Structure 1
Amino acid sequence: MVDRGASSRACEPHIAVIGSGSAAFAAAIRAAEAGARVTMIERDTLGGTCVNVGCVPSKILLRAAETARARRHHPFDGVPRTGGTAVDRERLLGQIRRRVEALRESKYQRVLDDNPRIELIHGHARFEDDHTLVVSLTAGGVRRLATDRVLIATGASPAIPPVPGLAKTPYWTSTDALFHSEAPSRLAVLGSSFVALEIAQAYRRLGSEVTVLARSTLLSRKDPAIGQALQAAFEDEGLRVLPHTAVAQVTFTGGEFTLSTRHGPIATDRLLVATGRTPNTGALDLEAADVATDERGAIRVNERLRTSNPAIYAVGDCTDLPQLVYVAAAAGTRAAVNMTGGDERLDLSVTPTVVFTDPQVATVGLDEGQARSAGIATTSRRLELENVPRALANFDTRGFIKLVAEADTGRLIGAQVLAHNGGEIIQTAALAIRSAMTVHALAGTLFPYLTMVEGLRLCAQTFTRDVSQLSCCAG
């Protein structure tokens, strides 16, 4: 059966959206508002990665782990500390699942129920040509869709490295780690990106002995000072971090993993593999629609989110865009505008990022190395958190704030923050960069006292003065 629907009616274009995550929904909603009829195709669970197996469950786990640690370890005299480390994982897991299900219902299913212009089909889609999709329905049968435009938003899946023996073992992916009912006595983590580090720290705080094995350094794509300081914070909590460590082989015998490394064999009860993600594009038959990908299988898109085929757009983790949910959603909205006759571009020149470890890693703009590679002469300052009054009041001075400015103008071009709740600081720096503020203007801006974000002003002041010689509230 061929479903031509509204594809022949110019006033009501038919747009097919493959996927049902944040990017897909952002696009579907905007396209429907513009008068399009939208068919959404999902082969698995409605809502995609973020709500189901990514952002939402991981942040609940991280917050629970932070709370568990704070009960045992805090800096305040006279406040009781509990002695045990036991966490009722079954109850916590139930709470995570209930919140995920509630958000999936309210933010995804209800949107579909309330929008007659968006139809959901459960099945697997592949291209027959650039205007025709063949959908193998989950319930059985095949449905062919004739479309005016197609948006690909199929996300990505955990990438598994070709380590000898690994594929034959019951290793964990991030999904397994988030939804497992027990904290193992020993956990080894392959990887050093944000997913690996967030889960590693959470499990340590929930009582596991954790070893992180990084092929390079922690968060190796960021300013080296961040990885060094974060490693020190991890080690203070009892995590074992092994940088520049490759795994030559993995075996699993008698319920125990053994990892062969340059440090000798490492035994562990569970093994989390978090070494990156692979775009979900291999089963789409993109060649039939002349859609180009890079060497990883990521779909190449331009700033208007158009692929190499002008009738087909792509957004989210299946593309060569940054794998950030807010980038994906913004891209979905702009793609929908362009698929319905508009002309919008996705501007990623100022894109803040946060790694939800503790302390958090938050960055925006260029670090010194990136600026140097771009041929930009810079001047920079780093402020230790001992100089931020709120950090002193919190008795938590782990980390620093660093600002990078253009040497000849003083214009702020980058900020790197390592601090408890550092993610709450970085957007202010992003707005300053977007507004082309100089560090001198930032230094003279009013910030509320006894907030962590005031550290941005104090760091900006260090370009011209010694802030250690100022009184608490000095402007």
Structure 2
Amino acid sequence: MPEAAPDFDLAVIGSGGGAFAAAIRATNLGKRVVMIERSTVGGTCVNTGCVPSKALLAAAEARHVALDATGRFPGISTTAAAVDMGALIDGKRSLVDGMRSDKYVDLAAEYGWDLRQGTAVFAGTPEEPALKVKGPNGTRDSLTAAHYLVATGSAPWAPPVPGMDEVDYLTSTTAMELDEVPESLIVFGGGYVALEQAHLFARLGSKVTLLARSRLASQEEPEASRALMGVFADEGIRVVRRAAVTSIRTNPSGAEMTVTATVAGGQEEFRAAKLLVATGRRAVTQGLDLDAVGVKTGDTGQILVEKTLVSSNPRIWAAGDVTGHREFVYVASAHGTLMVENAFNNAGHQVDYRHLPRVTFTSPALAAVGMTDEEATQAGIRCECRVLPLEYVPRALVNRDTRGFIKIVADSSTGRIVGITAVGKDAGELAAAGVYILEAGMTVSQVANLWSPYLTMAEGIKIAAQSFTTDVSKLSCCAS
């Protein structure tokens, strides 16, 4: 007997950036698509990640500028009252609701794929996988597809510290739903989420202590860590490095929490009204019954995929955070499109992270593209590097904020730029420009001699390139 035709060409579990990118591309190819979402449509980015966190960071920066302007700009006098956290959160929710409607729910209706509310679980066999879907009202359905995409994302993870399960700690998700600004806050972590949340609440009025196991932003250049340490010190954030948290408890009064950590070989206690745990995220794969269809997972639950994003089952693919790859929505979106091309057009495309930009939205921000100095050396590249303090960038001078730097890592034998890191205002825009520089294989000499508009932060990349051969302290303010 011939095999029954599948119900759909592509079944997508999840509704975030990767899921939508895949569904859009597959629909444009004329494929029949079904998308299954167990919670709120839109995934992490629009609901609990990028959009709400950056909206709150922008608000916090506006308040900080009002408080700081008098000192930075002579003749300017400003003040800022205490934050109405409830109103701030309501504004964030309104923004999120609008973007979810415009960019996800309405878009799905416009493209016309089947969007179902429910919890999907794999069934069948590795050779003939299927999905069982339990609807919100207890309804049950089953479906088959030629290909399946798991795009279920990731969720905040807390380490197994004694007492962690007994305290009401915050995560990056729940912290953005508070109805008042905590008087004091301990942030546990040193990655980009911890840095952004620490900066956010400090600028909203909390007294913040950051406990990090190593240096800040440990995956980036050490200069970035030192620059952010200075920024945080300026803004009253206490940073305790090499802090290994050993226990957590709520004080008898219930008004504070106590975090005990090993610091410099001794035990130290830290107290605050709230604790925010930002020690990483883990893939959301529990309950999918991936074993039943022969899909292998890693130590933290992530789906193990080839560079083509296919799993150990040739009909099941994964995209975004659930793969354990870099946790950026633009990575997830690229995954979704690439997966469809590979599944339906046999394109054989592979994920290439060589020129992946990454941004931490502190203020000033940290951004980078390409290799760090250490990574280039480990790759066998003999490097030549320059670090340009922002005091040599005219835009930073007129902004009255020269905290930060621009670093260029180049191959000394060819002059080709292999990495750019920046801490400064609009550093993310510098990283975007860096993507094009690295993709084009440009050299230090080429960048040093190209046009660059005066009084932009991007001009700093050109000045940093000029510093390889020129004493930039002896340049005129607009010398090319």
What TM-score do you get using the length of structure 1 for normalisation?
0.96
Instruction: Report what 2:24 is aligned to.
Output: 29
Q: Report the Cα offset of residue 5 of structure 1.
A: 9.6
Q: Report the Cα offset of residue 115 of structure 1.
A: 2.3
Contact 2:10 2:33 in 1 (8 A): yes
Instruction: Report what 2:101 is aligned to.
Output: 105
1:79 aligned residue (76, 81, 86): 76
The residue type equivalent to 1:292 in the other structure is K
- What's the secondary structure of 1:148's corresponding residue? strand
Report the more deviating stretch, 385-394 or 292-301: 292-301
Instruction: Describe the shift of the 1:5–1:41 C-alpha distance in structure 2 as closer, same or farther (beyond 3 A).
Output: farther
Contact 1:6 1:37 in 2 (8 A): no
**2-side partners of 1:102 and 1:108: how far apart?**
10
1:188-227 residue pairs with structure 2 within 5 A?
188-227=186-225
Q: Report the Cα offset of residue 14 of structure 1.
A: 2.0
**2-side partners of 1:359 and 1:95: how far apart?**
24
Contact 2:152 2:285 in 1 (8 A): yes
The residue type equivalent to 1:410 in the other structure is G
Structure 1 segments (4+ residues) deviating >6 Å = none
Q: Report the Cα offset of residue 435 of structure 1.
A: 0.3
Task: Deviation per CA, 1:206-240: give whole Å up to 9, x if none.
Answer: 11100000011111111111111101110110000
Instruction: Report what 1:257 is aligned to.
Output: 257
1:165-184 residue pairs with structure 2 within 5 A?
165-184=163-182
- What's the secondary structure of 2:407's corresponding residue? strand
1:55-74 residue pairs with structure 2 within 5 A?
55-74=50-69
Q: RMSD of aligned C-alpha atoms?
A: 1.3
The residue type equivalent to 1:63 in the other structure is A
Contact 1:5 1:14 in 2 (8 A): no
1:169-318 residue pairs with structure 2 within 5 A?
169-253=167-251, 254-255=253-254, 256-262=256-262, 264-318=268-322
Q: Report the Cα offset of residue 346 of structure 1.
A: 2.6
Contact 1:443 1:460 in 2 (8 A): yes
Q: Report the Cα offset of residue 141 of structure 1.
A: 2.3
Task: Deviation per CA, 1:341-360: give whole Å up to 9, x if none.
Answer: 24133322210110000110
- What's the secondary structure of 2:122's corresponding residue? strand
1:361 aligned residue (356, 363, 366): 366
Q: Report the Cα offset of residue 85 of structure 1.
A: 4.2
- What's the secondary structure of 1:350's corresponding residue? coil
Q: Does 1:114 align with 2:110?
A: yes
**2-side partners of 1:250 and 1:142: how far apart?**
42
Contact 1:301 1:320 in 2 (8 A): no
Contact 2:186 2:208 in 1 (8 A): yes
**2-side partners of 1:321 and 1:170: how far apart?**
29
Instruction: Report what 1:449 is aligned to.
Output: 454
Instruction: Report what 1:146 is aligned to.
Output: 144
**2-side partners of 1:473 and 1:232: how far apart?**
28
- What's the secondary structure of 2:296's corresponding residue? coil
Instruction: Report what 1:467 is aligned to.
Output: 472
The residue type equivalent to 1:103 in the other structure is M
Q: Name structure 1 gaps, 5 residues minimum.
A: none
- What's the secondary structure of 1:338's corresponding residue? helix
Q: Does 1:346 align with 2:344?
A: no
Report the more deviating stretch, 40-49 or 292-301: 292-301
**2-side partners of 1:248 and 1:226: how far apart?**
28
1:87-98 residue pairs with structure 2 within 5 A?
87-98=83-94
Contact 1:18 1:24 in 2 (8 A): yes
**2-side partners of 1:57 and 1:404: how far apart?**
34
**2-side partners of 1:292 and 1:398: how far apart?**
46
Q: Report the Cα offset of residue 278 of structure 1.
A: 0.5
Instruction: Report what 1:410 is aligned to.
Output: 415
- What's the secondary structure of 2:478's corresponding residue? coil
Instruction: Report what 1:40 is aligned to.
Output: 35
- What's the secondary structure of 2:118's corresponding residue? strand
1:409-448 residue pairs with structure 2 within 5 A?
409-448=414-453
- What's the secondary structure of 1:288's corresponding residue? helix
**1-side partners of 2:435 and 2:105: how far apart?**
33
Report the more deviating stretch, 438-447 or 258-267: 258-267
Instruction: Report what 1:156 is aligned to.
Output: 154
- What's the secondary structure of 1:77's corresponding residue? coil
- What's the secondary structure of 2:468's corresponding residue? coil
**1-side partners of 2:479 and 2:222: how far apart?**
32
**1-side partners of 2:187 and 2:4: how far apart?**
49
Q: Report the Cα offset of residue 427 of structure 1.
A: 1.2
Instruction: Report what 1:388 is aligned to.
Output: 393
The residue type equivalent to 1:404 in the other structure is V
Report the more deviating stretch, 378-387 or 120-129: 120-129
The residue type equivalent to 1:79 in the other structure is I
Contact 2:283 2:324 in 1 (8 A): no
Instruction: Describe the shift of the 1:294–1:368 C-alpha distance in structure 2 as closer, same or farther (beyond 3 A).
Output: same
Contact 1:189 1:200 in 2 (8 A): yes
Report the more deviating stretch, 220-229 or 55-64: 220-229
- What's the secondary structure of 1:473's corresponding residue? coil
Q: Name structure 2 gaps, 5 residues minimum.
A: none
The residue type equivalent to 2:294 in the other structure is D
Contact 1:40 1:119 in 2 (8 A): yes
- What's the secondary structure of 2:367's corresponding residue? strand
- What's the secondary structure of 2:111's corresponding residue? coil
Instruction: Describe the shift of the 1:259–1:85 C-alpha distance in structure 2 as closer, same or farther (beyond 3 A).
Output: farther
- What's the secondary structure of 2:119's corresponding residue? strand
**2-side partners of 1:93 and 1:282: how far apart?**
30
Instruction: Describe the shift of the 1:31–1:312 C-alpha distance in structure 2 as closer, same or farther (beyond 3 A).
Output: same
**1-side partners of 2:36 and 2:363: how far apart?**
38
Task: Deviation per CA, 1:366-391: give whole Å up to 9, x if none.
Answer: 11111111111100001000000111
**2-side partners of 1:41 and 1:93: how far apart?**
28
**2-side partners of 1:358 and 1:35: how far apart?**
44
Q: Report the Cα offset of residue 338 of structure 1.
A: 1.9
Contact 1:6 1:14 in 2 (8 A): no
The share of aligned pairs that are identical, in percent, is 44
Report the more deviating stretch, 380-389 or 282-291: 282-291
Report the more deviating stretch, 257-266 or 119-128: 257-266
